[in-house]
Amino acid sequence: MRVWLISMSLKMAFPSLVNSCCIVLVASSIQPIEKQIVLEGDSLTLSCNASGIPPPMVSWIKVGSVNISANGSELVLTNINRNEAGAYECEASNECGNASETVMIEVQCKLLSLKTITQVAGLLLSCKN
C-alpha cells in the first residue's frame, strides 16, 4: 500500500492561519477475491472490497472483453450460463494509483435427474461394478 503525505505549512502561504495541515492520500487497494463455483441458472454476486483515500472508483470487466460489466463495488450475474464463466477483474482507482484483483468464475452444468434423461432419450441405462 502506497501512502502519500502532503504536508504544507499553510501559515507561510496564508499568514492568518496558525495551524499547519496535513493531507494523507492512500493509494487504492483491494482485498483478495476467492474463486467462485456456481451452477448454471443460479445467481452470483461478487464484491470488490476496495479502499483508499480518497475513496476509489470501482469497476468490473470480464477479461478479454472490451465492455465494462459493471460500475461499482458489486457485480451481479443472474441466471448465469456457461458463456459467463471465466476471469473477471475488479479495478479500483484514485488519484494515488490503481489496484486490480482477478477472480475466476466456474459455471458447472446443471445435471438433469437420471429419470428425466431416460424419459427424454428413451434410453435404458444400467450400472456395472
pLDDT at 106: 97
Boundaries of domain holding 39 = 28-111
108 dihedral zone (left: phi>0; alpha: psi -120 to 50; beta): beta
Which tens digits make up the pLDDT trace of 10-39?
Answer: 445 555 555 556 778 899 999 999 999 999
Tell whether 4 is covered by a domain.
no
| CATH code, 98 | 2.60.40.10
pLDDT at 4: 47
End-to-end CA separation in angstroms for the chain: 57
Tell whether 127 is covered by a domain.
no
Nearest to 100 by CA among 24, 12, 30: 30
Instruction: Answer yes or no: are the C-beta atoms of 6 and 75 closer than 8 Å.
Output: no
Which stretch of DSSP H or E encloses residue 21? strand 21-30
pTM for the full model? 0.70
Cell of 128: 456395472
DSSP string, 48-96: --EEEESPPEEEEEETT-SSEEEESSEEEE-S--GGG-EEEEEEEEETT
pLDDT at 104: 98
Which tens digits make up the pLDDT trace of 50-61?
Answer: 999 999 999 999
Nearest to 63 by CA among 47, 93, 86: 86
pLDDT at 60: 95
Which tens digits make up the pLDDT trace of 63-112?
Answer: 998 777 788 999 999 999 999 999 999 999 999 999 999 999 999 998 76
Tell whether 104 is covered by a domain.
yes
pLDDT at 67: 76
Asked whether residue 129 carries a pLDDT value surpassing 70, the answer given is no
How distant is the alpha carbon of residue 118 from its chain centre?
Answer: 41
pLDDT at 10: 43
Q: What's the structural domain count of the chain?
A: 1
pLDDT at 14: 55
Asked whether residue 116 carries a pLDDT value surpassing 50, the answer given is yes
